[in-house]
Structure 1
């Protein structure tokens, strides 16, 4: 494989992308910083196919990333391969309003091959290639210029190894008949809606004990206000105000701006400055949270009850057994909330009752809930057995 020197000009990048556009797949990774900003600061892009690899400097003067972005989001003939690509995809979406497509995530594929829920890249490389990665440059300052050769070599390795791993993974998935399992998952992570931040929904990430509509309405208004402030100033949310501070203000709202000086977690200057005035204005405009937006209770499954909780626990045990037998990560088969909804009596709209998940797990889960499947211990091993329902009332 030919590894190019760091690409810092648009012409070289355009030529590279023209060649890569003829490849069946490319491996992609990014390096970025976001400790001090709301938006991730893109510092480096790495891309490779089976013939060549390169790192691209998006900060280089006059760099036009258009050919690369077009390759990622508009070329449907080239598969884009990532590892744990959520944040990389977010960056592309921020730049284009689109997501890379079609795509393949090796972390999700590893779940189907029994390598755990969230296998790290270094463990993936070790298990598939027998290579121990040098992690020395992992926490480097990628925004600093010039980048040294060690940084570039480390970054390039993220795609050169991936190019070798992907075909092997694909072959094993086909051999085990699990390739189709991943189609739905890959489409899910490629959905652009996953990467759109809606300020009016930001409150849902904040934990607050109250279920009073007035409190939650104020929290919604405050969280939306903070999200816009953070976006406009390009600062992390916590630099504007921490979650616990917003929750406290929502529960105990100040009457006038001068009262902000008494709020723990806020600077005393907020009692008289512009940002404090904007917070007070957001509070004043808040309305009680509508009933349709009220969060479900903590158990997430109304009507589950004590017996239902026990059934859900049995389903979780069944999931562990089936996942172990199939050598697949449990999270790929079913989510906890789905198990609880099934235990509570829900049948419609559950992924575990559709497609391959039904064949691998859902059929038995349904049989267990309906009393047609039972646990048994044989030879010291926990097993499943069809229940004898004759004579039961």
Structure 2
């Protein structure tokens, strides 16, 4: 594989993107800094196919990244391969308002062919290639220039290894027929709605303090205000105020600015500074949350109760057995809250649809409805259908009767 020098000009970038546009796939990674800013600062982009690889310096004077964005977001013929690519996709969206498409994430794919829930990149490389990745440059300051040879080598390694691993993962997915399992997960990763920074929806990321419209209205107003403050100052939203503090103020709003000194998580300065004044104005102007914006009530059946909780525990045991049998990450099949809903009587669930129903949901439903049981054979916990157990018992009883008749005849 040809490794290029650090790309720092538009012409070189455009030429490489033109070559990569003829590939079936490209592997992509980014290095960024976001510890002290609201918006992540893109410091490096690495890209490769099976023949060449390079790192691109987005901080280089005069460089225009448009050829890269055209390749990632507008070229539908080239598959874009990431590992744990959520933050990388977010950065592309921040620059372009679009997301890479079509897209493939090897961390998600590993869930369909192994029991790894969130395999890290270093472990991925070691498991597929037997190579130990040098993690020394992992927490480097990517914004500092010039970059060292070691930094560039480390960064490019992320995409060169991935360009060799992806075809192997794809081959196993095709062999097992599990590629279709991942379609919805990849579409979700590429959905621009996941990355749109709508301040009016920021409150939905915060654990809601109940379902009181007045409280939720304040929470919505406060969360939108915090986003605006953080964006204006270009600092992480948590530096303005933590989620817990925001929710507390929404539930128990101070009557006057001097009361802010009593709010846990705020410094004494809030009682008379400008940001404290702006906060109080937001609280005063907040309106109750409209009915059409109220969060839906959790879809549950009857309360679980003690017996229902035991059924949910059995479902979790069944999930462990099935995930082990077919070598798949249990999180790809279902979640704990979904199994609790199934145990409580809910039937409109993802687990009872499509491939999830065939692989796990069918057995889960039979267990809940009493048609599936557990059995131990040769020291292993297995699933068995109740009808099969009954048939075995009848057959065993018939054998005893026959044996008894034979004894009497003798």
Interval of TM-score (by shorter of Structure 1 and Structure 2):
over 0.9
* Contact 2:304–2:343 (8 Å) recurs in 1: no
Query: Residue 371 of structure 1 corresponds to which residue in structure 2?
Result: 370
300-309 or 351-360, larger mean C-alpha shift: 300-309
Query: Residue 20 of structure 1 corresponds to which residue in structure 2?
Result: 20
Distance in 2, matches of 1:356 and 1:263, equals: 49
Q: What's the TM-score once normalised by structure 1's chain length? A: 0.93
Distance in 1, matches of 2:284 and 2:99, equals: 38
Greater helix proportion: 2
Q: 1:304 to 1:264 in 2, by over 3 A?
A: closer
Deviation per CA, 1:2-60: give whole Å up to 9, x if none: 00000000110000000000010000000001000111110000000011100000000
The structure that has the greater radius of gyration is 2
Query: Residue 393 of structure 2 corresponds to which residue in structure 1?
Result: none
Distance in 2, matches of 1:303 and 1:94, equals: 44
Query: Residue 379 of structure 2 corresponds to which residue in structure 1?
Result: 380
Distance in 1, matches of 2:286 and 2:200, equals: 12
Distance in 2, matches of 1:148 and 1:12, equals: 20
Distance in 1, matches of 2:354 and 2:61, equals: 50
Q: What's the TM-score once normalised by structure 2's chain length? A: 0.89
Alignment of 1:158-197 (within 5 A): 158-197=158-197
Query: Residue 402 of structure 2 corresponds to which residue in structure 1?
Result: none
3-state SS of paired residue (2:23): coil
* Contact 1:300–1:337 (8 Å) recurs in 2: no
Instruction: Please provide the CA RMSD for this pair.
Output: 2.0
Count, aligned residues: 388
Q: Does 1:253 align with 2:253?
A: yes
167-176 or 255-264, larger mean C-alpha shift: 255-264
Deviation (angstroms), 1:271:
3.1
Distance in 2, matches of 1:14 and 1:107, equals: 29
Deviation (angstroms), 1:210:
4.8
Deviation (angstroms), 1:223:
1.6
Distance in 2, matches of 1:263 and 1:351, equals: 42
Q: Does 1:241 align with 2:241?
A: yes
71-80 or 314-323, larger mean C-alpha shift: 314-323
Query: Residue 126 of structure 2 corresponds to which residue in structure 1?
Result: 126
Distance in 1, matches of 2:133 and 2:53, equals: 18
Query: Residue 43 of structure 1 corresponds to which residue in structure 2?
Result: 43
Alignment of 1:34-73 (within 5 A): 34-73=34-73
Query: Residue 150 of structure 1 corresponds to which residue in structure 2?
Result: 150
Distance in 2, matches of 1:292 and 1:2, equals: 56
3-state SS of paired residue (1:54): strand
Alignment of 1:296-335 (within 5 A): 301=300, 303-306=302-305, 307-335=307-335
Distance in 1, matches of 2:248 and 2:330, equals: 37
Deviation (angstroms), 1:183:
1.6
Deviation per CA, 1:308-327: give whole Å up to 9, x if none: 33222221111111110000
The answer for unaligned runs of 5 or more in structure 2 is 391-410
* Contact 2:115–2:330 (8 Å) recurs in 1: no
* Contact 1:48–1:163 (8 Å) recurs in 2: yes
Q: 1:82 to 1:261 in 2, by over 3 A?
A: same
* Contact 1:304–1:343 (8 Å) recurs in 2: no
* Contact 1:304–1:340 (8 Å) recurs in 2: no
Deviation (angstroms), 1:378:
2.8
Deviation (angstroms), 1:383:
1.3
Deviation (angstroms), 1:367:
1.3
Distance in 2, matches of 1:251 and 1:143, equals: 40
Give the ranges of 4+ consecutive aligned residues of structure 1 lying more than 6 Å apart after TM superposition. none
* Contact 1:213–1:290 (8 Å) recurs in 2: yes
Alignment of 1:99-110 (within 5 A): 99-110=99-110
Deviation (angstroms), 1:259:
2.9
Deviation (angstroms), 1:376:
2.1
Distance in 2, matches of 1:200 and 1:305, equals: 35
305-314 or 80-89, larger mean C-alpha shift: 305-314
Deviation (angstroms), 1:151:
0.4
Query: Residue 111 of structure 2 corresponds to which residue in structure 1?
Result: 111
Distance in 2, matches of 1:163 and 1:146, equals: 27
3-state SS of paired residue (1:43): strand
Deviation (angstroms), 1:302:
5.5
The answer for unaligned runs of 5 or more in structure 1 is none
3-state SS of paired residue (1:238): helix
